[in-house]
Chain A
Amino acid sequence: MLAEIANPHPTWNVAHDVSEVLEYHFMVNALLAGSVVAVMAGLLGWLMVLRRETFAGHTLSMMAFPGAAGAALIGVAATWGYFVFCIAGALAIGRLSAGERRSWSEQSATIGAVQALALGLGFLFVSLYGGVLGDLDNLLFGTFLGISDGQVLVLLGVAVAAVAVLVALGRPLLFASVDADVASARGVPVRSLGIVFLVLLGLAVAATSQITGVLLVFALLLMPAASAQAITARPGLSLALTVAIGLVVVWLGLGIAYFSVYPAGFFVTSISFAIYVAIQVGAWARSTTRRGLQAPEQPPAEGVIA
């Protein structure tokens, strides 16, 4: 990143390195934006993992592609394109694929068709715009460097709104996510909540992809949440862990990228994945050990009537 121009060197003095990084306004913005996104994507991603809507989340991140390309085509700021298309995609998926009794194969086929259509459209926009091939990199893999003050404020605003709605709807949404049938029987509007959640997810994804790029959203949306849920099933604790892991990923990833010629997206994704794998291996090891330590069943004593 910066290393191409100014050739900074990391020292063993962490405090010095951190203060050096923070001298640059673009780095401060990157860290601020990254932190906001880590919190928002972490919380919504936690529900996404719980509700097993990973494929929908991925497709929503793909919506950002026609969004940004379309915005460039009509001369509007890319941010609008991201948000409009991600929300439109959420509504499309929510209306078309959700619903009682639809099998997973039907739902996934619908989501897949929506994704392909959206990407084809995005490519059309790019072609019509006359090949913004340089910007294609940023679109797909993120632009941690060029985040403006305005963008940070927009992100913060969206995050506050999304988290507020999430908190307000938290209990019924959790109920509907964990046991839809019982919740529905208790009068919880499961279908509507599902659509609202997808819209919130669309917002989170639109915000995240402006930092990480469309293809690497899962580094902050999926992996921290999946890692936390592998550690504990208790909602409060695993939500907190998700956010903590996300923040670590952002700060460590951006910090390392500052001193390197390689793109920040690579570091953010790799660190997130490394944490995810380490925790999965740990969880697997723990469950294997537990099974091995369980005492074998004792046969009942002679003469005892069971």
Chain B
Amino acid sequence: MFSQEFMRNALLAGTFIALACGVSGWFVVLRGQVFAGDALSHVAFPGALAAAAAGVDERVGLFAATIAVGAGIGLLSQRSVAGGRATGGAAPADDTAIGAVFTFVLGLGVFFLTLFSTSSGGGSGIQAARTLFGSIFGLGGGEARLAAVIGLAAALATLAIARPLLFASVSADVAAARGVPTRLLGIGFVVLLGVIAAEATQAVGALLLLGLLAAPAAAAHRVAGNPYAGIALAGLLAVTAMWGGLALAYALPGLPPSTAIVTIAAGMYFASTIVA
């Protein structure tokens, strides 16, 4: 398995993408921002299409779309930064706004899809499938290295703001009183999520990002009470799901890697609901 270059590339990129997803995902689940993460991954698709329609590298579109929408979500977010537990059982009010915005962006996506398919004369279906479901086995050496670097940087960035972000997420008012820039942190975090979403889209695709972002982290939340143990566990579980999924997909040619990765991750979460 390790002798094949495509597999080595997939493992390299996948490991650090999974690490970034697991670590940041722990905060996503804590802050109750799973839907925002979902929306960000969905808008990656029209971004890639717009770039392709303009004849630019699709990664430019991926990142531009997710960062722009991330900044928008962060700026418009009306609820307090302490999302998850503070609102009790109800979803935050801005879920409606998030849903409306990403639906509109997806509508733009179908517009660009038409533009792209008429200008390129076909191949758009395959392009769409790759962006939606990932193409981790199709990464070249340079692409894999770049993905690994971005993934690692994103994971480190999350760890760098972990302490103030944790404080701001659990107890926003006290944190603000203590001088933590809660609003800026909130916006910055969602923008960081956008970067991670754009990056992970290349591995597991726009539609399956939640599997890497939310599921391992949610499992870690159920199992580990201590925040730092939880963050580490989330990263570990995500990377394990990535490796397991890639190995399984290598062994069973009919099984797409993104399906395998996401199924393992979701399985981890459901197992954690029984065990913990």
Contacts and interface: CB of A to CB of B under 8 A. Distances in A.
B254 interface: yes
A137 B210 CA distance: 22
Contacts of B214: 108-109, 112-113, 116
Given A55-B35, A108-B32, A109-B29, A215 B106 contact: yes
B114 A262 contact: yes
A116 B215 contact: yes
Contact of B265 (A116, A119, A213, A261): A116
A186 to B, nearest CB: 19
Given A103-B85, A119-B262, A137-B125, A111 B34 contact: yes
Interface string A47-63: 00100111101100010
A104 B90 CA distance: 6
Given A121-B259, A123-B133, A263-B114, A133 B125 contact: yes
Contacts of A140: 110, 128, 132
Interface of B: 29-32, 34-35, 37-38, 42, 83-85, 87-93, 95-100, 103-104, 106-111, 113-114, 118, 125-126, 128-129, 132-133, 205, 207-211, 213-215, 217-218, 221, 254-256, 258-260, 262-263, 265-266, 269-270, 273
Contact residues of B: prevailing secondary structure: helix
Contacts of A109: 29, 34, 214-215, 217-218, 221, 269
A2 interface: no
A116 B211 contact: yes
- Which 3 residue pairs across A and B have the least CB separation, nearest first? A269-B107, A105-B84, A116-B211
Contacts of A101: 89
29 contacts: A49-B96, A54-B95, A65-B207, A103-B32, A104-B32, A104-B91, A105-B30, A105-B31, A109-B214, A109-B215, A109-B218, A110-B218, A110-B269, A113-B210, A113-B214, A119-B207, A120-B208, A120-B258, A120-B262, A120-B266, A123-B208, A127-B254, A127-B259, A137-B128, A226-B96, A266-B114, A269-B104, A273-B103, A273-B107
A19 to B, nearest CB: 27
Given A120-B259, A137-B125, A218-B99, A108 B110 contact: no
Contacts, number: 208
A96 B125 CA distance: 35
B263 A263 contact: no
A216 B106 CA distance: 7
